[in-house]
Structure 1
Amino acid sequence: MVMRRLLTVGLVVLGLGGGLLGLYTLGNSRTTQLFGEIFARVETSKPLVALTFDDGPTVRFTQDVLDMLKEHDAPATFFLTGKEMQENPAQTRAIVEAGHQVGNHSYSHARMLLTGPATVADEIERTDAAIRAAGYQGEIDFRPPYGKKLVTLPWYMSQNNRKTITWDIEPESYPDIAGNADAMAAHVLEKAQNGSIILLHVMYRSGEASRAAVPKIVQGLRQRGFEFVTVSQLLASRSEEAP
């Protein structure tokens, strides 16, 4: 009954004329959702950017990424899955102890477009519990798997005063540069602006080029005058500028 009511609300908001195309566009939008706050970039006059990583943690690559960030003194935000955190608790604690922000990327990394309310709550709350079990005390932001959301997920987020975090720069989404660290770094340097949220996938073997791009991105953006902050710090910069 709840799911049917939410879908009805969504269709009314969209307007019947939008049809399936409207639903598809809304479900994939990085900047728009039916309920609650969503951020693909933060409006700020300060030269701040957030480097974010999705998925993991993994035994093989977590420490390599942490060592790289430590070497370049760069904070990051890790959107982790609950299942992988439970499988790799030591790596989760290592991220927390290194001082990075930890975000919620669902438990199973399933597409949450037509998921029922109980499943949405379970996916998010089980992951929250794994994050807290690792000792993380900060606010937990959420990023939907594949960036997909429609009605029930945004409704849950709004009812629980949670923020949805997407991104405005994802070099891996361009097949012609995705396997080339230099090309990906150049793309980020070209596209970055105040408040940008950069997305990379660095936790698996397939992310070799993305891992190699990280120091190039950090060094290049710093040369352009940008400062790296976590997503929470980036969001806080809004209130600091409020009149």
Structure 2
Amino acid sequence: MKYNRLLCAGIAVSLLWVSPCPILSNEQNTSYASPAPAKGRAYYEERGDIVWEVPTHRKLIALTFDDGPDVSNTPAILDLLRKYDAKATFFVVGSRVEKLPHLVKREREEGHEIGNHTFLHSSFQHISRNKALSELDQGQASIVQATGAGTHLFRPPGGSYNDSLVKLAKEKGLKIILWSWHQDTLDWRKPGVHRIANKVLRNARNGDIVLMHDFVHHSTQTVEALKIILPELKKRGYSFVTVSELLSNREKPDGLIEVNK
């Protein structure tokens, strides 16, 4: 009985001890993004740290294309955008920009917007601050080299983010742009032309930011879907604008246009 009482007392004491969490003081152990951030979307959205979509009563939509440029899909998309008098935003991967700088130059010359999608499309989940800085800086440098000017827009691969990445983006003068949750076409999965088109058309709302890709290995589904999406939304009265143009049309609850700083 005495042994049992001592054992129970020991267990009770052990339950009261909570081991402290380790502090990540070494930058090599610091994670710069998380697929499930501790703070919710509303926190970052209200502070203007991250943009998912833009409240506006105007029939404006921002088409965005990730992971390019691509030697065949990007020119085809640019041709379609020009045909329908549409502007878009291309979040480019620096290592691909270096191989196809003329396409990124063409994007900018034709009135489209360029965004930084890192240099190697590296995940920010488990990389050091130095590596994260390198990804951003090299991505920016590739855009400057190709077009003569940088960008103030950044989209992290996979849409992953946390406080550390938000802080880093601010330090570099970059605005984090994600996409409307109801406008993720999942075109990288090659789901079929009509599934991609229907995702956009059935969910189209003012101020949407649509996620597509101009580089999907061995697939032209996005190009073919655009042949359906662009004329249909134009028929509905929508205009296709860059992300920055969409941000400049942000409306406050009272209906006034906010000045995008």
| TM-score by shorter chain over 0.5 | yes
Query: Quick one: distance in 1 between partners of 2:119 and 2:234?
Result: 34
Distance 2:53 2:147 in 1: 28
The equivalent position to 1:3 in structure 2, one of 27, 47, 51, is: 27
For residue 26 of structure 1, what is the aligned residue in structure 2? 37
Q: Deviations over 1:72-120 (max 9, x none)?
A: 2211100001110012122222222222101000000011123211111
Provide the residue aligned with 1:172 in structure 2. Answer: 186
| Structure 1 pair 28–130 and aligned structure 2 pair: CA distance change class (3 A) | farther
Per mean C-alpha deviation after superposition, the further-off stretch among 80-89 and 143-152 is 143-152
Worse overlay, 83-92 or 150-159: 150-159
1:191 corresponds to which of 199, 203, 216:
203
8 Å CA contact 1:111, 1:146 repeated in 2: yes
Aligned counterpart in structure 2 of residue 213 of structure 1, from 225, 235, 241: 225
Secondary structure at the counterpart of residue 26 of structure 1: coil
Question: With structure 2 as the length reference, what TM-score do the two structures score?
Answer: 0.76
Q: Secondary structure at the match of 2:186?
A: helix
Q: SS of 2:153's equivalent?
A: coil
Would you say 1:65 and 2:77 are equivalent positions?
A: yes
- For residues 80 and 143 of structure 2, the distance between their equivalents in structure 1, rounded to whole angstroms, comes to 22
- CA RMSD for the aligned pairs? 3.0
Q: Take 1:126 and 1:221, find their aligned partners in 2: how far apart are those partners?
A: 36
Residue 235 of structure 1, CA deviation? 0.8
CA–CA distance in 1 between the matches of 2:63 and 2:129? 31
Amino acid at match of 1:67: D
Describe the shift of the 1:123–1:223 C-alpha distance in structure 2 as closer, same or farther (beyond 3 A): same
Given that residues 81 and 104 in structure 1 are in contact (C-alpha distance below 8 angstroms), is that contact kept between their aligned partners in structure 2? yes
CA distance in 1, matches of 2:74, 2:103: 6
Residues 37 and 162 in structure 1, CA contact (< 8 A), matched pair in contact too: no
Q: Partners in 1 of 2:187 and 2:39 — Cα distance? A: 14
- For the residues of structure 2 that align with 1:114 and 1:151, how far apart are their CA atoms? 14
Distance 1:127 1:138, change over 3 A: closer
> Equivalents in 2 of 1:61, 1:209: separation in Å?
10
The verdict on how the C-alpha distance between 1:78 and 1:174 changes in structure 2, with shifts beyond 3 A counting, is: closer
8 Å Cα contact 2:197/2:228 also seen in 1: yes
The unaligned stretches of length 5 or more in structure 2 are: 1-24
Larger Rg: 2
TM-score normalised per structure 1: 0.82
1:4 deviation in Å? 8.3
- Give the equivalent residue in structure 1 for 2:57: 45
Percentage of pairs with the same residue = 31
Counterparts in 2 of 1:174 and 1:87: CA distance versus 1, 3 Å: closer
Greater percentage in helix: 1
SS in structure 2 at match of 1:238: coil
Q: How does 1:117-196 map to 2 (within 5 A)?
A: 117-137=129-149, 139-168=151-180, 169-172=183-186, 178-196=190-208
Distance 2:241 2:169 in 1: 24
Of 87-96 and 38-47, deviating more is 87-96
Deviates more, 1:48-57 or 1:179-188: 179-188
**1:15 matched residue in structure 2:** none
